[in-house]
Structure 1
Amino acid sequence: MKWKTLAAGTMILFFCLVGGVITGEKATAQETIRLGFVADVSGVGATFYKGQKAAVDLFIEEINAAGGVMGKKLEVVVRDAQLKPDIGANMARELILSEKCDFLIGPTSSAVALAVTKVAKEFKKIVYFHTSNAEALTTTDFQPYMFQVVPNTGIEGRGIANYMAQKPYKKYGYIGPDYAYGHDQFNAFKGELAKLKPDAEIVEVVWVKLGETNYSPYIPTLMAKNPEAIFSSLWGGGLSTFIKQAKPYGIFGKAALCSLFDLDMLRVTGQDMPEGLLGYARCPFYAVDNPEMKAFVKKYYDKNQEWPADWAIMAYDGLIALTEAIKKANSTDSDKVVKALEGMKFKSLRGERYIRAEDHMANVGIYVGVTTKSPDYKGFLIMKDVVEVPAEKIWLPVEQVKKLQEGKK
């Protein structure tokens, strides 16, 4: 009987301990909100990732120091999509199933984003896109568990066409990467330019593979028909390389180049960047004058000893919107947070913004300016005379968005 009593007591103790461990694991899970970051860490996405991750880390440090969200700490788990859609989709599944992440943070590549958004829909987990910006994410590939805080390809293409149509140029050339981002942006640009300036003509279109490093074979083709202006969807290191290789051909004395002049690209190009080029950015910190941006820039610079690129600002803005929606919903359940997000106003680093209910697109426009040297920023050019082209002027009307979402022409 003594042995039976001892055995019974041991079993009770065992189950109590196991139960305590399980309860402890559940408690730990309940005390944190896990963010799964499907990042493009390697290859041409590395520079973007550096700023994105620095901003995510800064936000998490700040929010956790202030007590978290609903009393829960934030933590981030990173996986590298390597700019490959199939790998990105697999990483998203791993973050949801194995890492038990509550929400996803999107990648750099639009092609990867289009794969990740399907996984987010499958598992009913919210994903926010801060850098990848295919307009299809909000239209033909729209699903309710996504939202976007980066100006999409349509907003960018129509926005820069809107601005360039005011210039005297009538003959345009185009060069861009041969994948979703380039094609979407070019189609938006072409359509808006035709509407605003019917006598304008796109005389040459050149497509290059993503990651191309030698533009010498393409430059003569691009210039053969003497365009007065060149619009480009090249970005980052690719755009920087193109500019450096195009200078010896004298392109910038013959045609105006307009493209995405984000801070990382300007830093990489350095003094090789010509002055006086018309360009745009998604959120240049030096041109946004409000207390929130100033405070963020100081904290970011103090921590990282460099200025925040556009990618850092947008990643941070996405977390502002997400955490505000979680608080509003008082839940981490994605369905409840989706309802909180739709139409929600939030104070971003770019000022007061809202999420449009019909396509979960934040009303974020583009910032257009002209490259110039500045004594405040050594080693690279910035843009001067910067003006914002607001989203409301250039995003798709709700009726058109709904038709595209429903698969109508």
Structure 2
Amino acid sequence: MTVLASSLAQAEGTYKLGEINSYKAQPAFLEPYKKGMELAVEQVNAAGGVGGKKLQLITRDDNGTPGDAVRAAEELIAREKIDVLMGSFLSHVGLALTDYAQQKKRFFLAAEPLTDKIVWEQGNRYTFRLRPSTYMQVAMLVPEAARMNKKRWAIVYPNYEYGQSAVATFKKLMTAAQPGVEFVAEQATPLGKVDAGSVVQALQDAKPDAIFNVLFAADLAKFVREGNTRGLFDGRGVVSLLSGEPEYLDTLKTETPTGWVVTGYPWYAIKTPEHQAFLDAYQKRFKDYPRAGSVVGYNAVLSVAAGLRRAGSADTEKLIAAFRGLEVATPFGPITYRVQDHQSTMGAYVGKTAQQQGKGVMVDFQYMDGARFQPSDAEVAKLRPATAQ
């Protein structure tokens, strides 16, 4: 009877998911992201939970700063007694939590930050990452950029880890794809504080044939508005990271440029059964359409649930073993967490921007499976510390 009572008590318990993110600093992405997480938690719990245990989501705001993120992690672990640590959006914040996970020997799922360092140079055995990385998304765009056959490229990016990483990868991959390409201008802007007028003027003065843009959120809107006003994009090819996500196209509306090559999420035109099921459930639950953040949040919780199910507990070492090679069914189809660097194979859509009925949309798109856009295992082994295995 004692064993039975103990088993029942455990089954009736919960797994506490401690999630840290920049909700106030990046609401366009993170409000939908939180809804995606909530939907996944509700679905998992309605189906009986994980091993009879329900999931409980506990969120904290990191104010977009590494120090606040680490303090939030300490509080979640000490006071809330969380079982799993997850989250982060901004790359420098994600790196701080990656380091924290290693120091404290705690499992951490980096849901959204894009910097490659999270799984490569500063990767560790405790950290896994869901969203397709900077390298992966740039690698998805480079074939289209090379097909433009433009020699002189200008670059604009937010001057912090994500932007710097994206530019370094773009230069490396473009030089390999199109020998002789030139980078004639670079504008590195403070995150959230772009001086769009001076940036656009500097790019125009360089007379590039094409532009690679890494700005997002409010910075992107300001850049596009000023660029449209001054004719910066007229007759020039533009390749732009993340700009096809509804979080950003929704803001641009009739200012959306035509023909930019972008990564994004055309939720309104994806016709797979997996995505349709997610779309129907999301719209029924929130009376709204999903954004890219919605899918990331949803997939993050599904990943944690699958990992806990495979591990049979929230023990850190068992979770690490469970996540290595873990397969998860998602609205984008099945993804796998790679053994060699803990990066998931979640992909993204690549297409072109357009306007339809006064709204920005993606057209001529296709899904890019993240498994196809990875460096070789030998390259990863050189990048990733031996201690990260």
TM range (shorter): over 0.9
Q: C-alpha deviations, 1:206-245, integer Å up to 9, x for none?
A: 1000011431111111121211111111112211221112
- The gaps in structure 1 that reach 5 residues or longer are 1-22
State the aligned residue count: 380
Which residue does 1:386 correspond to in 2? 365
Q: Give the Cα–Cα distance (whole angstroms) in 2 for the partners of residues 182 and 86 of structure 1.
A: 21
Which residue does 2:37 correspond to in 1? 56
* SS in structure 1 at match of 2:227: helix
Q: How does 1:174-323 map to 2 (within 5 A)?
A: 174-259=155-240, 260-261=242-243, 262-281=245-264, 283-323=265-305
Q: Give the Cα–Cα distance (whole angstroms) in 2 for the partners of residues 365 and 77 of structure 1.
A: 27
Deviation at 1:157, TM superposition (A): 2.0
Matched, 1:357 2:317: no
Aligned 8 A contact 1:235 1:265 in 2: yes
Matched, 1:66 2:29: no
Q: How does 1:25-36 map to 2 (within 5 A)?
A: 31-36=13-18
Which residue does 1:3 correspond to in 2? none
Q: Give the Cα–Cα distance (whole angstroms) in 2 for the partners of residues 29 and 233 of structure 1.
A: 47
* SS in structure 2 at match of 1:224: helix
Aligned 8 A contact 1:106 1:116 in 2: no
Aligned 8 A contact 1:34 1:102 in 2: yes
How has the CA–CA distance of structure 1 residues 299 and 263 changed in structure 2, closer, same or farther, with 3 Å as cutoff? Answer: same
How has the CA–CA distance of structure 1 residues 328 and 74 changed in structure 2, closer, same or farther, with 3 Å as cutoff? Answer: same
Aligned 8 A contact 2:29 2:292 in 1: no
Q: How does 1:65-214 map to 2 (within 5 A)?
A: 65-214=46-195
Q: Give the Cα–Cα distance (whole angstroms) in 1 for the partners of residues 338 and 262 of structure 2.
A: 27
- Aligned-residue Cα RMSD (Å) equals 2.1
What fraction of aligned residue pairs are identical, expressed as a percent? 27
* SS in structure 1 at match of 2:147: coil
Q: C-alpha deviations, 1:81-137, integer Å up to 9, x for none?
A: 111111111111111122111112211101100001112222332222222111000
Letter in 2 for 1:319: V
Which residue does 1:17 correspond to in 2? none
TM-score between the two structures when normalised by the length of structure 2: 0.92
Which residue does 1:328 correspond to in 2? 310
Q: Give the Cα–Cα distance (whole angstroms) in 1 for the partners of residues 340 and 386 of structure 2.
A: 15
Q: Give the Cα–Cα distance (whole angstroms) in 1 for the partners of residues 66 and 311 of structure 2.
A: 32
- The gaps in structure 2 that reach 5 residues or longer are none
Letter in 1 for 2:246: L
Aligned 8 A contact 1:162 1:192 in 2: no
Aligned 8 A contact 2:157 2:189 in 1: yes
Deviation at 1:287, TM superposition (A): 4.6
Q: C-alpha deviations, 1:273-328, integer Å up to 9, x for none?
A: 122222112x4423543212111111111222221111110121122122112111
TM-score between the two structures when normalised by the length of structure 1: 0.88
How has the CA–CA distance of structure 1 residues 29 and 105 changed in structure 2, closer, same or farther, with 3 Å as cutoff? Answer: farther
Aligned 8 A contact 1:102 1:125 in 2: no
* SS in structure 1 at match of 2:49: coil
Letter in 2 for 1:398: D
Q: Pick from 348, 353, 374: which aligns with 1:395? A: 374
Q: Give the Cα–Cα distance (whole angstroms) in 1 for the partners of residues 247 and 374 of structure 2.
A: 26
Letter in 1 for 2:230: Y
Aligned 8 A contact 1:130 1:315 in 2: yes
Aligned 8 A contact 1:297 1:307 in 2: yes
